[in-house]
Chain A
Amino acid sequence: MRSLLFAFLILAIPQLGHAVIFTEIAEPLFDVEPDFDGTEVVVIGSLDNYFDRAQVDVVVRMTGPTIKADMFANHALGPVWSNSKIGQIELPSLLIEANTTDLPAKTHPNLYEYLARNLKPRLDTAQVAALGDGLAKRQQLVKIDNSVLWRAGNLFKVKIPVPSTAPIGLYQVTSIAYFQGQELGRHDLTFRLGRGNTERSLYSLAMDHGWVYGLLGVLLAILVGLGAAQIFGRK
């Protein structure tokens, strides 16, 4: 009976114009300062009151800005392993999924499948597996089961870790509500990981004024070297 009611709601809600799921990020802008060691994004959301939260699964997926990667085919040269570049791909730099329960594969794609859909150009299964493992090793492809926690009523909250290797840029957070494998609705948000004052100044100097930046680095090195020689020389 409950299933029938939910099936009815799935069909009825969009017509009624209700938002099935609504989310908000506690802090939409993170500045990367010299002491940055990763951060945590807190997503707070609510599910429409028509739904019984016990019957609904929520998936919150964070996608990082697109980056490029060189793809290599590994091959043996006698006993030694070498590789040859076979192309360049575009991929999301970060893919972290948090959910209410460990959802079955039928309910929604696993992260590797999701990753495969977001690649340009498309890759075969072996290539996606290699890429996925590489990202997972760098904590940039992570699934955190049972981390979306229900609060009072139909409110939920999730804390998603952003590793220190996460690149600067605009991140997308998509929250999706599922009922028995069917998507009830979704809500998209963005937040930005930006450079703080010091980081921004250094980065701009390095990119826009390479000569000044390079000479500054060398000057600094000479001063440190002279300073050390002076201090130790006296002793």
Chain B
Amino acid sequence: MPIYLPIAELSIDLFLLLGLGALVGILSGIFGVGGGFLLTPLLIFMGIPAPVAVASQANLVVASSMSGMVSQLKRGNVDMRMGLVLLAGGLVGSFIGVLLFRYLRSVGQIDFTVAALYVVFLSVIGGLMLVEGVNALRQRTKPARKPRRTWLHKLPLSMVFPRSRIAISIIPPLVIGFFIGLLAAIMGVGGGFIMIPAMIYLLGMPTAVVIGTSMFQILILAAATSVMQAVTNQSVDIVLGFILMLGGAIGAQIGLSIGSKLRGEQLRILLALLVLGVGVQMFLTMLEPPAHPYSFKFLVAP
């Protein structure tokens, strides 16, 4: 059943989009990631112009994060204080990211930049998570290792985060938030696939709280990014976003019930494999020689 997307200016199968939204929602529910790192390349592959795909999927991230976060709030798995600190950095990063996105688009370097960033981040983070996850699974009988005190814990402006049972300077979460916001705007991702490992390994937060807090931060950040993209680049397709979010919100709930049956290490290994898979696929695409020495990118309205 075709549906016309007014900003992307093409029609696409309604059920295909619903299914895609549901798939991404399931991932969001299981791992606490927005799923944008998977959704954006898939939308572009389906023929949706990159700027529209990047901008519109933020609405799906809002819906699935909202759906997932409500459940996490009920379980007491959201560290609001940490979420707000991450968010403060994230909003600044997102604002700068939207401007940077606009600049890169104007000089014709957005596609390569996005692809290169994907390959680098997905491969490095996926690889590290896989190694750590496998190690954790091997040593599961041993008591959980307490996070080591590093130079990050000696920075000024220390704050206690009772829900996460840690006391740490607000500088690292602010910087992580800023970086996530920047990537969210440029890569069209929620940033969960970077933020979750960062919160676990750099900040030393417990995995259960990390997922809920990540959803909270992603929700607000994606909402802000979506509005900024709509105002600055006019590339948000509300119809595309709505269909994706319908599938996504339902998928997130299914994902949550799957995720609750899995252990933390298993979740990490699965997410690592997924992240690595997407990274390798994107890298292979970059290795493929183009058919012609020249390529063209058709510009959508406006």
Report which A residues bind B (CB closer than 8 A): 32-38, 67-74, 76, 79-86, 89, 93, 126-127, 129-131, 133-134, 138, 164-165, 167-168, 195, 198-199, 202-203, 206-207, 210-211, 213-218, 220-222, 224-230, 232-233
Main SS class of interface, B: helix
Contacts of A38 in B (CB 8 A): 11
Kindly provide the distance from the CB of B161 to the nearest chain A CB, expressed in whole angstroms: 25
Report which B residues bind A (CB closer than 8 A): 1-4, 6-7, 9-11, 47, 59-60, 62-71, 74, 107-109, 111-112, 223, 226-232, 234, 236, 238-239, 241-242, 245-246, 249-250, 252-253, 286-299, 301-302
Contacts of A71 in B (CB 8 A): 294-296
A213 touches B230 (CB 8 A): yes
Given the known interface contacts A67-B298, A81-B286, A232-B253, the answer about A222 and B236 at a Cβ–Cβ threshold of 8 Å is no
B235 (CB) vs chain A CBs: closest residue: A206
Contacts of A72 in B (CB 8 A): 108, 294-297
A and B contact pairs by CB, cutoff 8 A, 20 listed: A72-B296, A73-B293, A73-B294, A74-B293, A85-B108, A86-B294, A130-B295, A164-B4, A203-B7, A206-B238, A207-B302, A217-B230, A221-B60, A221-B241, A222-B62, A224-B242, A224-B245, A228-B250, A232-B67, A233-B70
In order of increasing CB-CB distance, the 10 nearest A-B pairs are A225-B66, A85-B108, A214-B230, A228-B249, A130-B292, A37-B2, A214-B227, A221-B62, A229-B70, A232-B253
In the bound complex, CA of A49 to CA of B185 (Å): 64
In the bound complex, CA of A78 to CA of B270 (Å): 32
User: Which of A37, A69, A129, A168 gathers the greatest number of chain B CB atoms within 10 Å?
Assistant: A37
B253 (CB) vs chain A CBs: closest residue: A232
User: Which of B71, B109, B293 gathers the greatest number of chain A CB atoms within 10 Å?
Assistant: B293
Contacts of B65 in A (CB 8 A): 225
A211 touches B230 (CB 8 A): yes
In the bound complex, CA of A20 to CA of B94 (Å): 62
Contacts of A210 in B (CB 8 A): 230-232, 234
In the bound complex, CA of A89 to CA of B252 (Å): 43
A34 touches B3 (CB 8 A): yes
* B231 in complex: contacting residue of A211, A216, A221, CB < 8 Å: A211
B2 touches A206 (CB 8 A): no
B236 (CB) vs chain A CBs: closest residue: A217
Kindly provide the distance from the CB of A212 to the nearest chain B CB, expressed in whole angstroms: 9
Contacts of B1 in A (CB 8 A): 35
Contacts of B111 in A (CB 8 A): 83
Kindly provide the distance from the CB of A47 to the nearest chain B CB, expressed in whole angstroms: 36
Contacts of B226 in A (CB 8 A): 214, 217-218, 221
